[in-house]
Chains A and B, each alone.
Chain A
Amino acid sequence: MATLQFREAILAGIDEEMARDERVFIMGEEVAEYNGAYKVTEGLLEKYGFKRVIDTPISELGFAGIGVGAAMNGLRPIVEFMTFNFAVLAADQIINHASKARYMLGGQLSCPVVFRGPNASAGQLGATHSVAYDSMYAHFPGLTVIYPSEPDDAKGLIKSAIRSEDPVLFMESEQMYGMKGEVSDAEDYIIPIGKAKVKRQGDDVTVVATGKMVHVVKQAAVELAKNGVEVELIDPMTIKPLDMETILTSVKKTNRCVVVDEAHPFGGVAAEVGFLIQREAFDYLDAPVQRVTLPDVNAPFSKKLFDLWFPDAKQVVEAVNAVTYRG
């Protein structure tokens, strides 16, 4: 095992795949000479040169589309967005083209492109830099959405993403880039897409969370354990395909579930997971599924308001208390 930062784990995965497959290249704003806005692509230019590590203009729609076309025409592009908040400008390429071209042409082509970059809030960046887009993209058929929470998962999953035959959105977090963790140094370490991980075992309540929220839940779980409540933390890791089987198995054991999602409440991951639990595990529920999400409000700047806005461990504890009929 090696201890790597989250960014280093992603970089290691990209590096391995670029070394393995000539067709893989990476492009995006500041990925080459600047070494990456968040240093995820550090050193790649030096190693692979300007052909395969490409700085783009600030033209998300343009370069995302070039990625889509290149993928259709035989390459394996990794398109980095400085944040998924900017990818909204490229949404036509992701949603109307990458996800649909194969189907509408009757399977005549494929589009193995990876769109990656940080997702959701990174602190006080204001309303336009703070949105979680995972559930929005997961809405669309044909898109795979991955949102890992730890370096090891990130490495194993970025490699799977790059090898996928279909478009993948790989979501990271500015605030997790520096986070260190043990990363497998097994040769060609691959984590299959669509498998959840049980990050903590417990009998009292199932808590489902991805990305940064996994760490919020871990904090809450420590607090809850002091009061004798053992949380089973499920990290789906891929929003889509969503591993409901693992979630349902856990819920059938604990009979209670809280979904923690760093997104707004309407139609989010929390809503979907909650719906499926009520349908698939209705007779196992001892309490309605609860969720902890952002409020239906834009991200504020002010620290005080931001803290109010952002889901924290206390809210998770409260939600767990509600489903376990405590306090």
Chain B
Amino acid sequence: MAHKIEMPKLSDTMEEGVIVKWNVQEGDRVEAGDIIAEVETDKATMEVEAFDPGTVLKIVAKEGDAVPLGGIIVVIGEEGENIDGLLGDGADSGGAGGASTGSGGSGNAVDVTGPGVGGGGTDVAGGGTGVAGGAEEFDPILGDLQGGAGAQASTRGTAASAAGATNGVSGATGVGGAAMGGGGNGVAATAGALATAAASGARVKASPLARSMARERGIDLATVRGSGPDGRIVKADIESARAGAPAPQVAQPVQRATEDIRVSQMRKVIAKRLSESKFTNPHFYETVDIDMEHATSTRAQLNEISDVKISFNDMIVKACATALRKHPYVNSSWLGDTIRMHGDVHIAVAVAVPDGLMTPVIRHADQKPLSQLSKETRELAGLARDKRLQPDQMEGSTFTISNLGMFGIEEFTAIINPPNAAILAVGAIRDVPVVKNGQVVPGKRMKVTLSSDHRIVDGAKAAEFLSTLRNLLQNPLLMFLSEGV
């Protein structure tokens, strides 16, 4: 008896997951406990395990597809079993796809499982071009595909399939009555890998009213996030969206394709958390210019004896951890009725990753020697870049440091990383002329800006913290003294 495997809940806040990778192909035998896929949740990339043995009959969600919790991702059963019934009624398996036909170049294989497995489930294997038959509006993505060669189709396929999957998963009828694999000048693709390039359902869902409003206001629906069922863009979404700036009147500019990129889970989380923070926490900012001359020389000396390379950032983490112990208000969280003064100092460090930002946490940073801080930071940053951070490695911070010094940013303000009370934005160490003993001499300065939540931290308190921090960095030995190491 075939069974559906649905998108599992892999984190407490997960609402949907994106299939990052399938470890199995249709036809493969799986045993209970096999890891069949990797899924990107709002927090991390997690493994999906098979709980029953069987043969992979149908991979419903393709790599890159976002599937809501409970949505079918794969069907496993006995070889040759008919699963039309299982998928056919599928409000959750994809829209009705009508017929799929394939024609043209070699290697074009058409996999039609049956009516009802349309939308994201209609496979046209091979790098064929795809058109949505009978569609009233051509989706720009499909339009691109139509004009593009097979090679392009393979690169754009992800976007198309992702959009298609959104429809498919939600059970909408695909736009296209028939998905046709034509062309054939494309790359002979591995069956399944590029399978969804010609997805029939790549369309933006919007209420008719929202569509006409968007038309009037010149809003590209693809840029609007829908708040209705299955992401339907409704009137309220258009009202809160801003119209695109009127195009300047210039002589026929070069046309370049606009590309709409699906918002990743990470980006959604970033967007949500930081918007909430910025709009609900009353931020205020204080900047100090720190003389880094001693820090620079101390670091050079340390690196001569240390087996791990100590960075300025490590020193800043250390200094912050030390200062936070002295200024517990800055190491706290606003809980509405109470303010939680954290006993521990766990410092999150913002790490830029290719498609976003992660904040791994260095726990008990105040109790760790510089060498260990350095080692841990490096490890965590590496995991973050590989998207292999485990949820617990990103949770529980009490303070955050964002350092853009390596990019030459002189100073900036950061948005508080909830539920922290403050974040430190660290600028570059600049070579500046300073006046010392009446003489203009070369000096090293670094500006740091503390963003504080005014509900907890008042201006003077923030200033006191910054003063301590500056003192520690200007006299690095104090850090070692206070630690007693």
Residue numbers of A with Cβ under 8 A of B are 255, 282-287, 325
Contacts and interface: CB of A to CB of B under 8 A. Distances in A.
Contact of A325 (B209, B211, B212, B236): B236
> Which label, helix, strand, loop or mixed, suits the secondary structure of the B interface?
helix
B82 interface: no
Interface string B272-308: 0000000000000000000000000000000000000
Given A287-B207, A325-B236, 15 more contacts: A282-B208, A283-B208, A283-B211, A284-B208, A285-B207, A285-B208, A285-B209, A286-B209, A286-B210, A286-B234, A286-B235, A287-B228, A325-B227, A325-B229, A325-B234
Interface string B206-232: 011111100000000000000111000
Interface string B185-210: 00000000000000000000001111
Interface of B: 207-212, 227-229, 234-236
Contacts of A282: 208
A327 to B, nearest CB: 12
Contacts of A325: 227-229, 234, 236
A286 B208 CA distance: 6
19 contacts: A255-B207, A283-B208, A283-B209, A283-B212, A284-B212, A285-B207, A285-B208, A285-B209, A286-B208, A286-B209, A286-B210, A286-B235, A287-B207, A287-B228, A287-B234, A325-B227, A325-B228, A325-B234, A325-B236
Contacts of A286: 207-210, 234-235
Of all A-B residue pairs in the complex, the 9 with the closest CB atoms, nearest first, are A286-B235, A286-B209, A283-B212, A286-B207, A285-B208, A282-B208, A283-B208, A255-B209, A286-B234
A30 to B, nearest CB: 52
A285 B212 CA distance: 10
Contacts, number: 28
B137 to A, nearest CB: 14
A255 B235 contact: yes
Contacts of B210: 286
B226 to A, nearest CB: 10
Given A325-B227, A325-B228, A284 B209 contact: yes
A86 B327 CA distance: 85
A202 to B, nearest CB: 16
Contacts of A285: 207-209
Contacts of A255: 207, 209, 235
Nearest to B228: A325
Contacts of B227: 325
A283 B208 CA distance: 5
Contacts of B229: 325
Nearest to B236: A325
Which of B207, B210, B212 is most buried by chain A, counting CB atoms within 10 A of its CB? Answer: B207
A23 to B, nearest CB: 51
